[in-house]
């Protein structure tokens, strides 16, 4: 099984752009209404454990929650012999990379100087793309290795979406790139799950914030209707047997 875990992949945009690899054989929205807010760390932690982890993650505090590292044995990944999980929040997340993203975003919103904003945005964009290219290379390498479970977490739609969701050309380029990533997964495995934590909606004309539903798709016909993010631990375990 290969899971392409895409932060902030928006159901409505997948529909609008019509990328067929992202949609796969079955697809839909996920129901995240049990959560107070669509928070990345909360949602991925709940996904890998199959339990609502909102209270537990929030009790760590806003800053400390990003250091969450859930032990392998508490996740469904441990049911596999040789799982590989790339950059997933709460598990194998590259803390420094994502810390810098949050720092630059904060700087961007705390200045009114348009020139400064432009500079920060440029650095932010380069930082995100560099990380994305690096991980994509790793993913391509890992596809050739012998893993019975592979998860590739992609953050770029969320990271760039927050500052540039109004730039549809850019967002479409990113969705196309992810569509190709899924196509590659389908060539390597007949069981491919695409999953987002939450989607994204436009705030004003430029910016983006988390929307109140996620996206899922599966490479085969299946009976998931509007699953919760905590339903996938079981789903993946059953499909992998
Ligand atoms: Zn976000």
pLDDT of residue 2: 98
> pLDDT tens, 29-77?
999 999 999 999 999 999 999 999 999 999 999 999 999 999 999 999 9
Using DSSP's 3-state secondary structure scheme, residue 23 falls into helix
Q: Does residue 241 carry a pLDDT above 90?
A: no
Cα 220 to averaged position of ligand 1 atoms, centre (Å): 29
Q: What mean pLDDT do residues 166-194 have?
A: 97
Nearest to 183 by CA among 174, 194, 172: 194
- Å from CA of 238 to ligand 1 middle: 30
- Tokens matching residue 149: 């479970």
For range 89-117, the mean pLDDT: 95
pLDDT (tens digit, 9 = 90+) per residue, 199-221?
999 999 999 999 999 999 999 99
Spatial separation of the C-alpha atoms in residues 89 and 76, rounded to whole Å: 15
C-alpha of residue 130 to centroid of ligand 1, in Å: 18
Q: Is the pLDDT of residue 152 over 90?
A: yes
- Burial class, 44, CB count within 10 angstroms (exposed 0-12 / middle 13-18 / buried 19+): buried
Reference 91, options 146, 8, 151; nearest CA is 151
Q: Among residues 15, 28, 6, which one has the least CA distance to residue 221?
A: 28
Considering the chain, what is the average pLDDT of its residues?
96
Give the containing element (helix H, strand E) for 3. strand 2-6
Task: Please check the confidence at residue 105 and state whether its pLDDT lies above 90.
Answer: yes
Question: Distance, CA 67 to ligand 1 centroid (Å)?
Answer: 16
- Please report the pLDDT score of residue 225 as a whole number: 85
Question: In the structure encoding, which two tokens stand for residue 99, read together?
Answer: 């810390």
Which pLDDT value is given to residue 116? 97
Q: Identify the pLDDT of residue 90.
A: 97
Residue 91 is predicted with a pLDDT of 98
d(CA 6, CA 235): 18
Do the beta carbons of residue 233 and residue 47 sit within 8 Å? Answer: yes
Q: What is the pTM of this model?
A: 0.96
What percentage of the chain exceeds 90 in pLDDT?
A: 97
Ligand 1 centroid – CA 149 distance (Å)? 26
CA of 7 relative to ligand 1 center, distance in Å: 7
Residue 223 pLDDT: 87
The pLDDT score that the predictor gives to residue 173 is 97
Structure token pair of residue 38: 């669509």
Report the separation in Å between the CA atom of 93 and the middle of ligand 1, taken as the mean of its atom positions: 14
Q: Residue 24: is its pLDDT beyond 90?
A: yes
Distance 8 CA to ligand 1 centre (A): 7
Say how far apart CA 104 and CA 94 lie, in whole Å. Answer: 16
CA of 55 to the centre of ligand 1 (A): 19
The CATH class given to the 2-240 domain equals: alpha beta
Contact (CB, 8 A) for 33 and 51:
no
Query: With pLDDT > 70 as the criterion, what percentage of the chain qualifies?
Result: 100
State the distance from the centre of ligand 1 to the C-alpha of 70, rounded, in angstroms.
20
């Amino acid at each position: 099984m290969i899971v392409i875990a895409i932060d902030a992949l928006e159901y409505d945009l997948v529909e609008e752009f019509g990328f067929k690899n992202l949609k796969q054989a079955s697809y839909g929205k996920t129901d995240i209404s049990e959560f107070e807010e669509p928070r990345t760390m909360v949602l991925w932690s709940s996904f890998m454990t199959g339990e609502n982890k909102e209270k537990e993650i929030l009790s760590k505090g806003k800053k400390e929650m990003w250091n969450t590292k859930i032990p392998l044995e508490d996740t469904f990944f441990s049911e596999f012999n040789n799982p590989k999980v790339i950059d997933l929040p709460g598990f194998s997340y590259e803390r420094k990379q994502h810390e810098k993203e949050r720092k630059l975003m904060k700087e961007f919103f705390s200045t009114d100087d348009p020139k400064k904003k432009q500079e920060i945005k440029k650095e932010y964009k380069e930082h995100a793309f560099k990380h994305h290219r690096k991980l994509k290379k790793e993913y391509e390498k890992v596809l050739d290795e012998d893993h019975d479970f592979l998860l590739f977490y992609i953050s770029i739609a969320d990271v760039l979406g927050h500052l540039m969701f109004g730039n549809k050309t850019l967002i479409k380029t990113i969705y196309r790139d992810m569509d190709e990533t899924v196509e590659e997964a389908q060539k390597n495995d007949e069981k491919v799950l695409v999953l987002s934590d939450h989607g994204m909606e436009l705030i004003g004309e430029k910016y983006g914030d988390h929307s109140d539903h996620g996206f899922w798709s599966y490479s085969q016909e299946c009976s998931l209707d509007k699953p919760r993010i905590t339903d996938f631990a079981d789903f993946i375990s059953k499909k992998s047997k």
